[in-house]
Amino acid sequence: MSKFATLERDHELSARLKVVGVGGGGCNAIESMIKRGLTGVEYVAINTDAQVLQKNSADHKVQVGVGLTKGLGAGADPEVGKKATEEDREKIKGILNHSDMVFVTAGMGGGTGTGGAPIVASIAKSVGALVIGIVTKPFRWEGKKRMMNAEAGIQELRQFVDSLIVIPNERILNILDSSVGALTAFDKPNEVLYEATRGIADIITVPGIINVDFADVRSVMNHSGEALMGCGISSGENRSVEAAQKAISSPLLEGISIKGAKNILLNVTGSSNLTMQEIEEGNRVIYEAAGEEANIIFGLVNKEEMNEYVSYTVIATGFSSRSESSGVSKLRAEKPEKPKEETERFPIGGFNRRELEIEDEENLDVPTIFRVKGSQKKMFESAESEIKGGFKIEQMDAFESEKAEEKKKKKEFEMREQDSSSFLRMMMD
């Protein structure tokens, strides 16, 4: 065997990828990937439910918590899922040993996936692997308890993954036609897992003209938090631009865009008919969307079998939008609310009445009712000048009780009061 052949074999084995499905949703996800024909990775199915494992085509199957669940499910209890997975920690560790990169996928909200995924991620981390979490959140109609379990499980999973992708099932409804079958709809989130894994597998295993390898992937994704991973393929006149746009825009991903990413790994694959101009146009889409501060690692792979198609694979990490938005929310929360009595003291007319003020202290000897009416008149004149478009102002006299009291005490001003009241009614009309 020549030295060159040895080097080629070493290259092929230099990075080992494993995809681990935890719980019913996770096992369904890897089964979908296997059917799509993704090779170059090892599949591991982990579940408490023996029936689910029997139907799975994974390379490795681990039934956890046999002593705890007796081969049944976790009963939608994350604590049971957690204890069951802990029970077989060493068995899982033996399978994940020597892995360079581990994808952990699960449907969050139930028992085994929610409780077990963080345990599996921690095991993968302990063997030195780069760990990527890809999980789904339940539909709203699945109930508050399941959603709370999902949120708690995701928060725990964050502690043990380098990058995390969250797919809310609710968004499936926003991107599919109403006539699409249920099986097709539920398989949609698995496409994100498939595209991400396939894209990274291609980056690692396929040598390029401008080559990127696992070291580049690790530098971008290690301890990076939220991640955007996508792959876009297109043909035709604007194929590079369209492929780039598809790669960075997935309506399934939760609250994340490429804008503000600090690190981007960009791998372009095409045949020899791919022009430099097309590469420039496609790459500009990524650059302009991310911003000039992003560190972009670029790779180019030649595959003649692509023919008229171009593929863009993008891994973007290092987002600060989540923390910034939470900071804005905090500032908003700390902003004092306007006192209720200030806004509701005079709930009339579509505008806030101003506090009546005595502008001239020399008028203190003028009876209260006349000072009040004078202030009202000024207020109406000011409000009338601010309101445009012919709106009719209808206003209730807020001082009715005070006028009644003044009538009793100061009968000598009865006629003047009537005249003044008539004047105010004329203004309101």
**In the chain, how many domains are there?**
3
Q: What is the pLDDT of residues 63-104, one digit of tens each?
A: 998 888 877 877 888 999 999 999 999 999 999 999 999 999
Backbone angles phi, psi at 19, to 5 degrees: -115, 120
Is 291 found in the same domain as 330?
A: yes
Whether residue 193 lies inside any domain: the answer is yes
- Domain of 403 in residue numbering reads as 346-428
- Reported as a pLDDT band with limits 50, 70 and 90, residue 154 is very high
The rounded distance, in Å, linking the Cα atoms of 195 and 246 is 12
pLDDT above 50 for 428? no
Whether residue 220 lies inside any domain: the answer is no
Is 137 found in the same domain as 88?
A: yes
Is 241 found in the same domain as 194?
A: no
Tell me which of 282, 301, 335 is where a domain ends. Answer: 335
Whether residue 318 lies inside any domain: the answer is yes
Is 328 found in the same domain as 350?
A: no
% of the chain residues with pLDDT over 70: 69
Q: What is the pLDDT of residues 164-210, one digit of tens each?
A: 888 888 887 777 788 888 888 888 888 877 877 777 777 777 777 87
pLDDT at position 278, please? 96
Is 144 found in the same domain as 49?
A: yes
The rounded distance, in Å, linking the Cα atoms of 230 and 248 is 6
Range with the largest mean pLDDT of 161-170, 236-245, 380-389 = 236-245
CATH number, position 273: 3.30.1330.20
Is 35 found in the same domain as 184?
A: yes
Whether residue 217 lies inside any domain: the answer is no
20 forms beta bridges with 44, 104
> Which of the pair, 422 or 133, is modelled with greater confidence?
133
- pTM greater than the 0.75 cutoff: no
In one-letter notation, the amino acid at residue 73 is G
In one-letter notation, the amino acid at residue 152 is A
Is 118 found in the same domain as 239?
A: no
| Candidate from 51-55, 69-73, 403-407 with smallest mean pLDDT | 403-407
Tell me which of 155, 172, 205 is where a domain ends. Answer: 205
CATH number, position 68: 3.40.50.1440
What is the distance, to the nearest Å, from the Cα of residue 367 to the centroid of all Cα atoms in its chain? 64
Strands across the sheet containing 101-107: 60-63, 42-47, 17-22, 101-107, 130-137, 163-168, 225-235, 309-317, 263-270, 295-302
What is the distance, to the nearest Å, from the Cα of residue 234 to the centroid of all Cα atoms in its chain? 26
Is 355 found in the same domain as 313?
A: no
pLDDT at position 2, please? 44
Q: What is the pLDDT of residues 108-144, one digit of tens each?
A: 999 999 999 999 999 999 999 999 999 999 988 999 9
> Which of the pair, 40 or 143, is modelled with greater confidence?
143
Whether residue 8 lies inside any domain: the answer is no
Is 297 found in the same domain as 358?
A: no
Whether residue 116 lies inside any domain: the answer is yes
Is 229 found in the same domain as 146?
A: no
Whether residue 307 lies inside any domain: the answer is yes
The answer to whether 74 and 48 are in contact (CB under 8 A) is yes
Whether residue 4 lies inside any domain: the answer is no
Is 391 found in the same domain as 264?
A: no
Please give the structure tokens belonging to residue 425: 């009614």
The rounded distance, in Å, linking the Cα atoms of 78 and 89 is 16
pLDDT at position 7, please? 42
